[in-house]
Amino acid sequence: MARAAPLLAALTALLAAAAAGGDAPPGKIAVVGAGIGGSAVAHFLQQHFGPRVQIDVYEKGTVGGRLATISVNKQHYESGAASFHSLSLHMQDFVKLLGLRHRREVVGRSAIFGGEHFMLEETDWYLLNLFRLWWHYGISFLRLQMWVEEVMEKFMRIYKYQAHGYAFSGVEELLYSLGESTFVNMTQHSVAESLLQVGVTQRFIDDVVSAVLRASYGQSAAMPAFAGAMSLAGAQGSLWSVEGGNKLVCSGLLKLTKANVIHATVTSVTLHSTEGKALYQVAYENEVGNSSDFYDIVVIATPLHLDNSSSNLTFAGFHPPIDDVQGSFQPTVVSLVHGYLNSSYFGFPDPKLFPFANILTTDFPSFFCTLDNICPVNISASFRRKQPQEAAVWRVQSPKPLFRTQLKTLFRSYYSVQTAEWQAHPLYGSRPTLPRFALHDQLFYLNALEWAASSVEVMAVAAKNVALLAYNRWYQDLDKIDQKDLMHKVKTEL
Ligand SMILES: *[C@@H]1O[C@H](CO)[C@@H](O)[C@H](O)[C@H]1NC(C)=O
Ligand SMILES: *[C@@H]1O[C@H](CO)[C@@H](O)[C@H](O)[C@H]1NC(C)=O
Ligand SMILES: *[C@@H]1O[C@H](CO)[C@@H](O)[C@H](O)[C@H]1NC(C)=O
Ligand SMILES: *[C@@H]1O[C@H](CO)[C@@H](O)[C@H](O)[C@H]1NC(C)=O
Ligand SMILES: *[C@@H]1O[C@H](CO)[C@@H](O)[C@H](O)[C@H]1NC(C)=O
Ligand SMILES: *[C@@H]1O[C@H](CO)[C@@H](O)[C@H](O)[C@H]1NC(C)=O
């Protein structure tokens, strides 16, 4: 007892000193948006700051954001982001952590449709695919593969940097640390330019690369090379999705974090205290009325550009003012059609002989980007994909809502059509500069990274970066922010 007393006193003094010195953890954190970015950052923030910090997550729509499902004929189907690359390491971790499972894969063949005929067909035999690619396009596809692999290999460095606690305050700093000026340059030049330079032919770009970019971004080979390379990587690896629906990752992370989800639209963030640590007032409105609350840290996990669907969030009291609303988004419409495919349109008068489950398109026909015969989010072991002559659920992705005449072209007849309209990805090229994560001392913009490349995993990477940035800034660990030559530092730390 006597011996314990001095130790206790010393501990108390130490704790008091820590509190007075500003080393106490933050009290309250606000996250605006409960999509994958917002849910993941809530989880990472709690991981770093500990379980006692209160995290409020504001969501104006539904938890999951661009991860969503629609019910057709009593089954649920993905209506937003449908699948992930096997190297999506943060997403893989979340699934494991939450006790979720990968959905069983039901194989189906893909092909690229060029308006009159199929440009490229996947066969059942891998070697034959390679042979055909070689026959049609020579060495182009190997060059493409090497180009994509080099980008991915460098991008994967981010996981190592993050495991060592390093964070970046801007998208440019982050890209530079991974791929130096090459990566930054790749956000300023087009996919087509970059590929032509490494010897990929224009024909291969027009026939194959464009179709993949249209399928993932609804954009052309004129889009920036970095975002393009990331989406082409997705077309090569094996893909997976979450049993029960991808959105379960978001709701699962929020539940695990015990985050306080507030269903409201955030209207403004105002800077209050400028002495010592900043204090932010977050104002919001919902059907109950208007209200506000104060926070030590605020993370914006939703796009900030102005358009019809964004929340028109304003920033007040900041000098210099924060005005990050440049750029616009590429709308994408997903239509889930329950009906019979018009296989004649694709040159197969007999639907029984139609061999494809996934159709990509070149820029003609222009009214749709992809057409997929999809499976529900929960499938039993005995599940088999619907045959083309049967009524099936097809997912059509298009730049604009489909007209009745267009639906009548693609389908012989249908029972139902349900649509989801997404501001899916940034319209690359609509913004002159790369945005920053740090908008103010403890005010962060997670979706900044979408302007380099946009995918679910990229948002999870941005979430980890923002959580580390907030943590390193809070405890003034400046050696862990915007460091150069990290490859070398990380090696010597090991
Ligand atoms: C940037 O990329 C373009 C197109 O790939 C290339 O022509 C140019 O030389 C690159 N510039 C630098 C500084 O790397
Ligand atoms: C679908 O899968 C999820 C996750 O495995 C499970 O929680 C849910 O009960 C399943 N639903 C149905 C209808 O089988
Ligand atoms: C909430 O605030 C907005 C302005 O931000 C105002 O237009 C609206 O009338 C307010 N609503 C209520 C119920 O006070
Ligand atoms: C906003 O909506 C109007 C009408 O619904 C539409 O004409 C306009 O293009 C939309 N603007 C943006 C930026 O999406
Ligand atoms: C956002 O502001 C624009 C005009 O600045 C307006 O047209 C739009 O309806 C607003 N959107 C929302 C969701 O309030
Ligand atoms: C199906 O496609 C063919 C060929 O493009 C077209 O002539 C026909 O009108 C389409 N619709 C139906 C219902 O067959």
pLDDT of residue 130: 61
CA 290 – ligand 3 centroid, Å: 6
pLDDT of residue 16: 42
pLDDT of residue 493: 74
pLDDT of residue 176: 96
Ligand 2 atom closest to the Cα of residue 244 is 2
pLDDT of residue 494: 56
CA 366 – ligand 5 centroid, Å: 30
CA 263 – ligand 2 centroid, Å: 25
Give alpha helix (H) positions in 105-224.
126-137, 140-155, 157-163, 171-186, 191-197, 202-204, 210-217
pLDDT tens readout for residues 412-423: 999 999 999 998
Q: Kindly report the protein residue whose alpha carbon is nearest to atom 5 of ligand 1.
A: 194
pLDDT of residue 141: 82
What residue ranges line ligand 2, CB within 6 angstroms? 101, 243-244, 378
pLDDT of residue 385: 87
Ligand 2 atom closest to the Cα of residue 101 is 5
Ligand 2 atom closest to the Cα of residue 248 is 4
Q: What is the mean pLDDT of each run of 10 residues along the chain (494 residues)?
A: 46 44 83 98 97 96 96 94 92 98 87 87 66 73 90 96 97 96 95 95 91 91 94 82 97 97 96 84 95 97 72 87 83 96 95 93 87 92 87 96 96 97 87 93 96 95 98 96 90 73
Q: Kindly report the protein residue whose alpha carbon is nearest to atom 2 of ligand 3.
A: 290
Q: Kindly report the protein residue whose alpha carbon is nearest to atom 3 of ligand 6.
A: 345
Pocket test for ligand 3, best of 266, 268, 290, 312 (most atoms within 8 A of CB): 290
345 lines ligand 6 (CB under 6 A): yes
CA 49 – ligand 3 centroid, Å: 34
**Which residues, 6+ apart, have CB-to-CB distance to 166 below 8 Å?**
177, 468, 480, 481, 483, 486, 490
Q: How many CB atoms lie within 10 A of CB 285?
A: 15
What residue ranges line ligand 1, CB within 6 angstroms? 181, 185, 189, 193-194, 197
73 lines ligand 3 (CB under 6 A): no
pLDDT of residue 1: 39
Global pTM reads 0.90
